[in-house]
Amino acid sequence: AKSYNIVVLPGDGIGPEVTGEAVRVLQLAADKCGFELKLSSHDFGGIAIDNHGKPLPDSTIAACEASDAMLLGAVGGPKWGVGKVRPEQGLLALRVHFDLYANVRPALFPSKSLLSLSPLKESVAEGTDLIVVRELVKGLYIGEKTEADLTPGAAGEAADVMRYNRADVERITRLAAFLALQSSPPKKLHSIDKANVLACSRLWRHVVQETVDREFAAQGVEVDHQLVDSAAMVIVSNPRKLNGIVLTENMFGDILSDESSVIPGALGLLPSASLSGLPDGKQKCRGLYEPIHGSAPDIAGQGIANPVGTILSAAMLCRYSLGETRAADAIEAAVRQMLDARADGGDEVRTRDLHGQAGSKDVGDAVCARLEKLL
Ligand code: NAD
Ligand code: IPM
Ligand code: MN
């Protein structure tokens, strides 16, 4: 049987709670589909600062190097604050170390019964189907930084540099177009920038258009360009207008992907994949899979976190890094059935963020029970 080496990075706060459920689901899918998993957990984030003095210890990097894919919970929390050594630095370092330049964040299509839980009017949320593709290793996150001198009397000036080049924009555009071409007809690309102000955005807009014209127009891929401020408004007022692939740079993508979680109704539902290349099965594509939410310190340790975003991240892991499509499809179907159980006469299993009573474990159990039947 095929065997895969999966590194689990539970991290901080609700991280261990949500990865615990996702690993149970992943293991069951593997057993049923006939592949083997070698799972190992490693310290990462705040817990790694406590145990090793830094958020991304060498032993964790070595384990990730040797893995076929990485599954992450979340990092950070009030214990580590925004001091000199921060858990979040580990996440940025991991992204850069493996050159995980493409962050794919689908805003889960709301199941019929979830639609009523969306804070948006049903008529607004209905039919939304968008995927945010966020550039992940350049921009303000990574450019040169000047920390402010905060001692009294000092000028206290800080700087973060945003820098993009042609190759950076070309490769993320190719990945977005690859995803667009998975559908027939191809999904539309909506490139988001601030080209009326930023030089990086003028480069971005030009290179996105040029790459699509040169390499993808003949296959029917189309792109339009929008300014980020107005796109932020459209996401919550008429999100169907952005159906397709929302392609954007690092920080805009961070903000727009949290915002788009409003559409299905909860941050805890949304998964992500961070990839180092096209997931076309032709070459090994490294991937880090994690929910888009953080460590939710306000609810950590209570067993009530919604593990759906992490479970769906595990499905993306099967699809993009393992090529185990059947397992991926079944996990996604099991989640959808669970959220929509009333449709077949049962009760939905929902955590509190979805106005339910279920705990994280109940959700894991319910997904596993459905997976048993599906596979
Ligand atoms: P957050 O995403 O952790 O929480 C925002 C709100 O959503 C909270 O009310 C929280 O309870 C709720 N929430 C989030 N995930 C949930 C889930 N699965 N189920 C139920 N409710 C959920 O954002 P924050 O509070 O701004 O950040 C907390 C910490 O997490 C910070 O240190 C931040 O840097 C870090 N963070 C890490 C990641 C990551 O590891 N990728 C992502 C975002 C934030
Ligand atoms: C995310 C998070 C991270 C980001 C933080 C924790 C560094 O918000 O994964 O969206 O901003 O990229
Ligand atoms: Mn974020």
The type of residue at 350 is: R
Mean pLDDT for 185-193 is: 98
Residue 352 lies in a domain: yes
284 pLDDT above the threshold of 80: no
Domain presence at residue 113: no
Name the β-bridge partners of 247.
133, 191
pLDDT at 36 over 90: yes
Q: How many CB atoms lie within 10 A of CB 144?
A: 8
Q: Which residues are close to ligand 3, an ion, with C-beta < 5 A? A: 254
Q: What is the CA(253)–ligand 3 centre distance, in A?
A: 8
Do 302 and 351 form a contact (C-beta atoms < 8 A)? no
The predicted model gives 344-368 an average pLDDT of 89
Give the predicted TM-score (pTM) of the model: 0.95
- Residue ending a domain, choose from 245, 263, 281: 263
Tell me what pLDDT residue 285 has. 83
Residue 283 has pLDDT above 90, yes or no: no
For ligand 2, atom 6, the nearest C-alpha belongs to 88
What are the pocket residues of ligand 1 if the criterion is a CB atom closer than 6 Å to any ligand atom? Answer: 14, 18, 74-77, 88, 91, 267-268, 290, 293-299, 305-306, 309, 353
Residue of 14, 72, 89, 91 to test ligand 2 pocket, by largest number of atoms within 8 Å of CB:
91
Average predicted confidence (pLDDT) for the chain = 95
pLDDT score at 348: 79
Q: Could you say which DSSP state residue 257 is in?
A: H
Total domains present in the chain: 2
Cis peptide bond upstream of 279, omega within 30:
no
Protein residue with least CA distance to atom 17, ligand 1: 268
Over pLDDT 90: what percentage of the chain?
Answer: 87
- CATH number, domain of 215, equals 3.40.718.10
Same domain, yes or no, for 273 and 259? no
Q: Are residues 74 and 124 in the same domain?
A: no
Whether residue 112 is predicted with pLDDT greater than 90 in this model: the reply is no
User: How far does the centroid of ligand 3 lie from the alpha carbon of residue 304, in Å?
Assistant: 21
Residues 272 and 371 in one domain: yes
Say yes or no: 316 and 196 in one domain: no
Q: How far is the CA of 294 from the centre of ligand 3 (A)?
A: 7
- Quick one: pLDDT at residue 45? 98
* 295-351 pLDDT tens trace: 999 999 999 999 999 999 999 999 999 999 999 999 999 999 998 877 666 677 899
**Residue 40 pLDDT grade (very low, low, confident, very high; cuts 50, 70, 90):** very high
Q: Would the pLDDT of 110 be above 80?
A: no
pLDDT per position as a tens digit, 51-91: 999 999 999 999 999 999 999 999 999 999 887 899 999 99
258 lines ligand 2 (CB under 6 A): no
Strand partners, 134: 103, 248
Q: Are 220 and 211 in contact (CB under 8 A)?
A: no
112 is a domain residue: no
Q: Token pair 């996401």 is at which residue?
A: 235
Q: Which residues contact 113 (CB under 8 A, 6 or more apart)?
A: 339, 340, 342, 343, 348
Owning domain of residue 127 = 119-263
pLDDT at 49: 97
- Select from 258, 295, 310 the residue to mutate for testing ligand 1; criterion: most ligand atoms less than 8 Å from CB: 295
259 with 271, same domain: the answer is: no
What is 18-75 written as a DSSP string? Answer: HHHHHHHHHHHHHHHHT-EEEEEE---THHHHHHHSSSS-HHHHHHHHT-SEEEEEE-
Does residue 131 carry a pLDDT above 70? yes
Give the Cα separation of 105 and 292 in Å (integer): 8
Ligand 1 atom closest to the Cα of residue 80 is 32
37, 314 contact by CB (below 8 A): no
Atom nearest to 91 CA in ligand 2: 7
Q: What is the mean pLDDT of residues 363-375?
A: 96
